[in-house]
Amino acid sequence: MKIINPIKRGYLALEEWFNISFGPDWNPLYHLGTLTFFFFWVVLVSGIYLFIFFDTSLSGAYKSVDYLTHEQWYLGGVMRSLHRYASDAAVVTIILHMFREFALDRYRGFRWFSWMTGVPTLWFVITLGITGYWLVWDELGLYVAVLSSQLMDALPIVAGSMANNFIEGQLTDRFFTLMGFLHLLGQPVLLIFALWIHVKRLSHVEISAPRGLAVGSFISLLLLSFLWPATSHAPASLSKVPAILNLDWFYLNIYPLLDSLTAGQTWVLTIGITMLLMIMPWLPPKKTGAAAEVHLEECNGCGQCAVDCPFDAISVQARTDGARWEYEVTVADKLCAACGICVGSCHSSNPFRSSNKVLDTGIDMPQFPIDEVRSKTKRALSELHGDTRIIVFGCEHAFDVEQLKTPSVAVLNFLCTGMIPPTLVEYALKHGADGVFISGCRNGDCYFRYGNIWMDKRFNEGRKPMLRERVDRSRIAVFRAAVTDGRLIRRELAGFTQQITALNQGKTASAAQDIKHA
Amino acid sequence: MLSAKRLVLQGINYALFMGLVWYFSFSPPYVRLAADEAMISLALSHAGKPVQECRRKSQEELNKLPPNMRVLEECPRERSPVRIEVLVDDQAVIDERINPPGLYKDQGVDVYHSVKVPVGDHRLEVRMNDNIRVAGPTHHYHQSISLSAADLLVIQFNHAHNQFLVK
Ligand code: HEM
């Protein structure tokens, strides 16, 4: 039995708790990216409202925010609170999003790009929050301004001293206007650009959270905003030092470090942590399997694999081999995650074809070619004993189905269950299986993003290549289980076996009756 | 999808999440200064004196130069480092020696440094040396001060009067 890393075990337990509370469709842990986007939307809309009333001058900023908070508490104040709390919530979801990718080992190998580009987006978000607090121009804003300037002064890029601006008599609107510009325009544009790069290597990227989650989160944000509205500190004063500051620890956690470290040391620490995070995908590196290979003899250029590829690794191009088809597909090896979902997308991956020859298909995985899939299925089925013969198809990233093997239960592991051609299920039922039981990563949590989704659509919603209508659905079960879900999947398989036994007995009984009738 | 049980459980989850968001958005409070502390900030921009005096060129040297470049004096660009000490009741609270920045070490230095000091009456002394050719302070300031809680005392340098400005 594989040893499960305790971080992953802990994460999966949390995920399970959320599955109980929200169900897989709304499980927030499956939607941390989209949930973050949702919070960004709230921040954007509330921010636009605040901007309408905001006075971008040093002398007017505090008063304009104060007006919104107190006089216009019912709308402006709520908008301000939504702006603050949604920004804070976004930091929580971003950290959880990072933690999830880490805990489930989804940050190395072919995912290095998403991980590495994620790290700077985190900093863009944090610095966006910092300039936001600066703009309020209360004691906290001044504190942030002075300490940020001290940090900037430690960098060799800034000539002169920024911190010296915050001395009575020296202060001008110049800086403040710059911060206003950064917060209202510069930084958001930069963040959007960074996010675009962050998801560039993925296809079918969802950015809208499921409605249930969006509604729930919005209602709770709204309640929080009414119950504990965001407020300011006293106005900034250049001759007093606020003794106590109510720091927003999500955004301003770096500043208290300056009590014990110099600005230079603080930079070394932050840059060090950032670099460490960025090189994590290589600590240690993870090998991605061999990339998918196109076999033009079997490819008619339909492009279904290119549509289905979750990592945008397949593209359609003009035919190069003179065949009668207009198009062909090609794989960018560097982008390929070796999930095999494309094999399941190709209608040539049909085990009923070329039954006496090697089975070749339009796109195949060198490490587990479709011909081997067919021969292994056939062999496994031929070795089954008993009256109820089941074959279990599993995936390498979910519960290890090898543990379910018995004389009457055969098992076969795939790179991803999205790799299973629907015709293979039909094939198994025709070649000795009484039932086909398919596992895979938990619903909503496919290691390769779309394996589960495409499989369900091929089986039930007519997505190509589809599972034919006439295949007996009562002999097929899908139950998805993570590595820690052994008890659940065993129970489910036992139930399925009983169901198949009953079906078999029914069949025998009706066959006996047919004979009697005859 | 939304049974009563789930609704309750979701409510609990949202409450926990928003509780976390709310709490860390302002707490735990960060104590920047204790109740009996004030702050002294040293904030100044100052250019040190050149490391050497300007030298008058000899007639011979001048003759060698093209007529349009016959400048009488040759002044080194490099400036002296600035050493600055702030003492409170004869205890050094700031002691910095800053080298002039720039490729030719010819630019002014900027200092920004804050320290916490106990409230009450103190003797403040500021010493600066901006000339490598002079031993000991070139500028000196001392004054009795009285600080109350959360006061910010700023030490600057007034170039026009060539002296410290403390307020
Ligand atoms: C700034 C906020 C961020 C947002 C809004 C965001 C959003 C997203 C979205 C929408 C996806 C695509 C998920 C999918 O469709 O499967 C994604 C993927 C990913 N993100 Fe982020 N992300 C953010 C920050 C980060 C950070 C800080 C990291 C880690 C350092 C990170 C690591 C990843 C990884 C590794 C993936 C790849 C997931 C996969 O291949 O299945 N992200 N992110």
User: How many Å apart are CA B159 and CA B165, to the nearest integer?
Assistant: 10
Q: Could you read off the pLDDT of B94-115 as tens digits, one per residue? A: 998 988 888 888 888 888 889 9
Confidence class of residue A153 from pLDDT cuts 50, 70 and 90?
Answer: confident
User: How many Å apart are CA A393 and CA A405, to the nearest integer?
Assistant: 11
Q: Report residue A506: phi and psi, to 5°.
A: -60, -45
CA nearest neighbour of A40 among A1, A79, A90, A3:
A90
CA nearest neighbour of A502 among A479, A478, A474:
A474
Confidence class of residue B165 from pLDDT cuts 50, 70 and 90?
Answer: confident
User: How many Å apart are CA B142 and CA B127, to the nearest integer?
Assistant: 9
Q: What pLDDT, on the 0 to 100 scale, is given for residue B77?
A: 87
Q: Burial level of B146, CB count in 10 A (0-12/13-18/19+)?
A: exposed
Distance A115 CA to ligand 1 centre (A): 7
CA nearest neighbour of B84 among B152, B146, B155:
B155
| CA nearest ligand 1 atom 15, residue | A205
Question: Nearest-CA residue of chain B relative to A214?
Answer: B14
- Asked whether residue A155 carries a pLDDT value surpassing 90, the answer given is no
Q: What pLDDT, on the 0 to 100 scale, is given for residue A2?
A: 64
Give the residue carrying structure tokens 């702030």: B86
Q: Are the C-beta atoms of residues A166 and A142 closer than 8 Å to each other?
A: yes
Q: Are the C-beta atoms of residues A331 and A341 closer than 8 Å to each other?
A: no
- Asked whether residue A262 carries a pLDDT value surpassing 70, the answer given is yes
Kindly report the number of other CB atoms within 10 A of residue A14's CB atom. Answer: 14
Q: Which two structure tokens, joined as six digits, stand for A455? A: 């499989």
- A57-68 per-residue burial string, b: 16 or more CB within 10 A, e: under 16: ebeebbebbebb
A interface test, pick of B10, B16, B166 with most A CB neighbours within 10 Å: B10
Confidence class of residue A193 from pLDDT cuts 50, 70 and 90?
Answer: very high
The atom of ligand 1 lying closest to the CA of A102 is 35
Mean pLDDT: which of A503-512, B9-18, B45-54, B112-121 is highest?
B9-18
Q: What pLDDT, on the 0 to 100 scale, is given for residue A518?
A: 59
Q: Are the C-beta atoms of residues A344 and A455 closer than 8 Å to each other?
A: yes
User: How many Å apart are CA A23 and CA A38, to the nearest integer?
Assistant: 19
- Among the partner-chain residues A23, A216, A228, the one whose CB lies closest to the CB of B22 is A228
Give chain B positions within 8 Å (CB) of A23: 1, 6
Q: Could you read off the pLDDT of A110-140 as tens digits, one per residue? A: 999 999 999 999 999 999 999 999 999 999 9
Peptide bond into A24 cis (omega under 30): no
Q: Are the C-beta atoms of residues A436 and A429 closer than 8 Å to each other?
A: yes
H or E segment and range at residue B113: strand B109-118
Q: Which two structure tokens, joined as six digits, stand for B48? A: 């040190």
Q: Which two structure tokens, joined as six digits, stand for A207? A: 């950015």
pTM for this predicted structure: 0.91
Q: What pLDDT, on the 0 to 100 scale, is given for residue A1?
A: 52
Question: Nearest-CA residue of chain B relative to A242?
Answer: B150
Beta bridge partners of A395: A414
Percent of chain A residues past pLDDT 90, beyond the cut? 86
User: How many Å apart are CA A438 and CA B2, to the nearest integer?
Assistant: 27
User: How many Å apart are CA B6 and CA A194, to the nearest integer?
Assistant: 36
B149 shares contact with chain A (CB less than 8 Å): yes
Give chain B positions within 8 Å (CB) of A242: 32-33, 150
User: How many Å apart are CA A288 and CA A286, to the nearest integer?
Assistant: 6
Q: Could you read off the pLDDT of A65-86 as tens digits, one per residue? A: 999 999 999 999 999 999 999 9
Domain-by-domain residue ranges, chain B? 33-166
Q: What pLDDT, on the 0 to 100 scale, is given for residue A72?
A: 93
- Asked whether residue A515 carries a pLDDT value surpassing 70, the answer given is no
Report the relative pairing of strands A435-438 and A476-478 from DSSP bridges: parallel
Q: Is the dihedral of CA B58, B62, B63, B64 positive or negative?
A: positive
Q: Give the number of beta-carbon pairs within 8 Å between A and B.
A: 120
Kindly report the number of other CB atoms within 10 A of residue B52's CB atom. Answer: 13
Beta bridge partners of B121: B146
Residues A212, B15: C-beta atoms closer than 8 Å: no
Q: Which two structure tokens, joined as six digits, stand for A324? A: 């009668």
Residues B31, A243: C-beta atoms closer than 8 Å: yes
Residues A248, B149: C-beta atoms closer than 8 Å: no
Mean pLDDT on A13-41: 95
Q: What pLDDT, on the 0 to 100 scale, is given for residue A385?
A: 92
- Asked whether residue A152 carries a pLDDT value surpassing 80, the answer given is yes
A148 lines ligand 1 (CB under 6 A): no
- Among the partner-chain residues A168, A228, A240, the one whose CB lies closest to the CB of B150 is A240
Confidence class of residue B67 from pLDDT cuts 50, 70 and 90?
Answer: confident
Domains recognised in chain A with CATH numbers: 31-236+252-282 (1.20.810.10), 293-517 (no CATH)
Q: What is the mean pLDDT of chain B?
A: 90
Residues B112, A164: C-beta atoms closer than 8 Å: yes
Strands (E), A337-387: 363-364
User: How many Å apart are CA A33 and CA A315, to the nearest integer?
Assistant: 26
Q: What pLDDT, on the 0 to 100 scale, is given for residue A169?
A: 65
CA nearest neighbour of A84 among A250, A284, A207:
A250
CA nearest neighbour of A440 among A428, A427, A426, A454:
A454
